Amino acid sequence: MECISVLKELSVHTAVSGYEKSMADYIKESFGKDCDSVEEDRFYNVIGIKKGNKSNKKIMITAHYDEIGFLVSGIDEKGFLRFTSVGGIDPKILLAQEVIVHGRSDLLGIIGAKPPHLLKPEEAKKAVKMGELRIDMGMTPEKVREQVSIGDLITFKAVPFELQGKKLSSKTLDNRCGVTSLIEILKELRPFKFDSDIYVVATTQEEVGLTGVEIASYNLQPDIAIVIDACHGDIPDAPKGEAYALGKGPAVAIGPNLHPKLTKKVIEIAKSENIPYQIDIERGDTGTEAWATQVSRSGIPTILLSIPVRYMHTTVETVHANDIENTAKLAARFIVKAETEMEELLCF
Amino acid sequence: MFDLVKELTGAFGVAGNEENIREVIKNKIQNVLDEVYVDTLGNLIGVKRGNGKKIMVAAHMDEIGVMANFIDEKGYIRFSSIGWVSPFYALGQKVKFKNGTIGAVFYEEKLDEMKNLKLSKMYIDIGAASRAEAEKKVSIGDTAAFVGEAVQEGDMIISKALDDRSGCAVVIETIKNLPKTENEIYFVFTVQEELGLRGAKTAAYGIKPDIAIAVDVTLTGDKPESKPMEVKCGAGPAIKIKDRSVICHPEIKKLLEDCAKRLNIPYQFEILEEGGSDPGAIHLTAGGIPSGAISIPCRYVHSPVETANINDLKHAVMLLRESLV
Ligand SMILES: [Zn+2]
């Protein structure tokens, strides 16, 4: 279960969208062992490169490593912090959470919640709004102003823990599970030597609009892109057709956002190699980096593999180790095949 | 500074029709810089040559306004908005077309409740007695800006189009007081910001700078019963952290903060919960351009009575100048 321990480590690091620098070195090191070189661009995308013999073609595999988080947006007269989110967060999950405020030093804080005794009946029925929530650090207003300024980062304080049946629960499994599979892909590719260059890219600012991947794909101009991201796991009462079972393999996306021939190929490979997979039907915008890669420059043929994650964008995101391993296995086999059959695969 | 702001805010330049304001600004910068040109979209670009870093400075010169889309038989003009125009801000105001024709903006009295006021229930009255008479002055497709001549009360300037002629004023003052530097600096007065950051996008692609700094207005939280926001008029230029279009690059944020500290001028940080700005387009361009912004705190943005503190503009000039060195 090595991939669980890799993911555990990855999930505790913080890299709020736009501020990923703090984690870039860690990822560089993880890629380093299996790459000829590792680069970091000006937007903190980490790019691991396996140089090909001919370097005539390029294959890019991406998974974003940024995470949702918060910024301090105000300090009130009593020293409580107001905050705004970076990326999509449902305020309901914030009540009674522990957070770390990255001020001059890292400070512990809690997001307070009004006790039921004090809730007016009409309040009890209403959903909370982020603007009404405050962070309490237990400090005097003077101390707070000395230690914290507007724009300082706030992250969840979450402790990963293993559930039964090879499942891990933690913050940021969306999409550190994808990053874990990048590391696994590199391992899977060890025995191979390619003509093409392989770029393994941990991208930034996905949660705020696919920024990192837009920049990386423009700069790298790959011939094929493989995007790995999280999809919704099978939680109780999830809408049918929008959630995928944990442990049953990566979801392979089919739809106009993805390249039909490449998608067909990856499904063929899953079948012939006995790798479990699920089908994810996407009628338009997949909401993933594939949406940006497909139309970068003159277009990049793209496939999308998604790892089922339950309770997305909470501190208890949950993932199955097998799905990460199978995603990596499938992506790696696909790279090997696509690399030799590229010409044929890319013509319509 | 006030005279410059007054002249700039007074010039016509509804998004997509920036010819007049472009001429005004061009005349002010053309003998000071090494080169001044206009690009395909109409952005005005002034260049200070050098061998150092390539820096793009952007302030948008377009303003919000309205566009005539129908003239009825009695000569009343129906209109749509160019950029975000609130019906409530527009009500009871005057608008001025490019040819100088002025009209009153009012609404259909049959409206049941004021909260249902929409631009489609409003019209412009230019005093014409018939469609034929109106058409002598205004054709459909013509644009008009709100009327709101700049005045100064104490340290506060009240005017239309401080968004973003105040930013243009800051950039022009910086051009006139250029610091000694090897950097190559592109001062861009962008078009069509109010239509979705369109000018900044092509300008950035054409220039491909190493970094970009925009100067624009931001909202404030210092009015009676304001939505909470830390930014105040008079507390110094704001260094943008994020808005809906961009998370400013940490290096640019740090650059601006270091400059403000070095100059010992007041400054504040801006987190804008609504609205975007030119860096939103610039940072995504041509493989990524680290971008940030100096924001001028401004009350009542997109109304004819936008209000900003003149000292914030002056400090913004100092901050921008220092950041270019
Ligand atoms: Zn503006």
CA distance A135 to A99: 8
Residue A225 within a domain: yes
Over range A24-45, report the average pLDDT.
Answer: 96
Q: Which residues of B touch A295 (CB under 8 A)?
A: none
Catalytic annotation present for A2? no
- pLDDT confidence of residue A1: 54
> Within a domain: residue A166?
no
pLDDT in tens, A83-110: 999 999 999 899 999 999 999 999 999 9
Assess B137–A contact: CB distance below 8 Å, yes or no: no
Are the beta carbons of B249 and A43 separated by less than 8 Å?
A: yes
B286 touches chain A (CB under 8 A): yes
pLDDT at residue A115 greater than cutoff 80: no
Q: What is the mean pLDDT of chain B?
A: 97
For residues A91 and A61, membership in a common domain is answered with: no
Residues of chain B neighbouring A205 (CB-CB closer than 8 A): 247
Q: Which of B269, B283, B290 sits opposite A151 (nearest CB)?
A: B269
Question: Are A60 and A175 contained in the same domain?
Answer: yes
SS3 assignment, position A279: strand
Cross-strand pairs, A224: A59
- The pLDDT score that the predictor gives to residue A240 is 79
Domain shared by A104 and A182, yes or no: no
- Its domain, for residue A178, covers 2-67+171-346
The CATH number of residue A117's host domain is: 2.40.30.40
A19, A74, A215 ranked by CB distance to B250: nearest: A19
**Of B63, B184, B193, B306, which is the active-site residue?**
B193
> B36 touching A, CB under 8 A?
no
B120 alpha carbon – ligand 1 mean position (Å): 24
- Architecture category of domain B65-146 in CATH: Beta Barrel (2.40)
Cα separation of A151 and A72, whole Å? 5
Quick: pLDDT tens for A273-324: 999 999 999 999 999 999 999 999 999 999 999 999 999 999 999 999 999 9
Residue B310 pLDDT more than 60?
Answer: yes
State how far Cα B49 lies from the chain centre: 26
- CA A146–ligand 1 middle distance (angstroms): 32
Of B229, B230, B287, the CB nearest to A218: B287
The DSSP element (H or E) to which B38 belongs, if any, is strand B35-38
Residue A314 lies in a domain: yes
Residues 245-284 of B with CB under 8 A from A: 247-250, 253, 268-271, 273, 283-284
A124 and A231 both lie in a single domain: no
Judge: A151–B241 Cβ closer than 8 Å, yes or no.
Answer: yes
Tell whether the model's pLDDT for residue B148 goes beyond 90: yes
For A242, which DSSP code?
S
Domain contains A45: yes
Contact A27, A41 (CB under 8 A): no
Cβ–Cβ under 8 Å, residues B201 and B238: no
Q: What is the tens place of the pLDDT at every residue in A127-167?
A: 788 888 999 999 999 999 999 999 999 999 988 999 998 99
Ligand 1 geometric centre to CA of B164 (Å):
5
Residues A63 and A77 in one domain: no
| DSSP bridge pairs for B37 | B45
ipTM score here?
0.91
pLDDT surpassing 90 at residue A343: no
Strand A167-170 relative to strand A317-320, pairing: antiparallel
Q: Which DSSP letter does residue B107 get? A: E
- pTM attached to this predicted model: 0.94
At residue B43, what is the residue type? N
Chain B positions touching A213 (Cβ under 8 A) are none
CB within 8 Å: B247 and A208: yes
Domain residues of chain B, as ranges?
2-63+160-323, 65-146
Which among B248, B269, B290 has the least Cβ separation from residue A150? B269
What topology does CATH give the domain B2-63+160-323? Aminopeptidase (3.40.630)
Q: Quickly count: other Cβ atoms within 10 Å of residue B201's Cβ.
A: 21
pLDDT in tens, B202-235: 999 999 999 999 999 999 999 999 999 999 999 9
> Which of B219, B239, B242, B255 would best serve as a mutation to test chain A binding (most A beta carbons within 10 A)?
B242
Q: Do B241 and A131 touch (CB under 8 A)?
A: no
Which of A132, A156, A180 delimits the end of a domain? Answer: A156
Q: How many domains does chain A have?
A: 2
Find the CATH number of the domain harbouring A332.
Answer: 3.40.630.10
- Buried-exposed string A302-329: b where 16+ CB fall within 10 A, e elsewhere: bbbbbbbbbbbbbbebbbbbbbbbbbbb
| AA identity, residue A64 | H
| Beta-carbon contacts of residue B181 (< 8 Å; ≥ 6 apart) | B50, B52, B324, B325
Task: Write out the residues surrounding ion ligand 1, Cβ under 5 A.
Answer: B 163-164, 216
CA distance B248 to chain A (A): 8
Q: Are B294 and B239 in contact (CB under 8 A)?
A: yes
Find tokens 């990386």 and name the residue.
A216
Is the Cβ–Cβ distance between A222 and A301 less than 8 Å? no
Whether residue B24 is predicted with pLDDT greater than 80 in this model: the reply is yes
Helix (H) or strand (E) holding A122: helix A121-125
Which of B241, B255, B256, B274 would best serve as a mutation to test chain A binding (most A beta carbons within 10 A)? B241
- Average pLDDT of the residues in B124-151: 97
* pLDDT tens figures, A58-75: 999 999 999 999 999 999
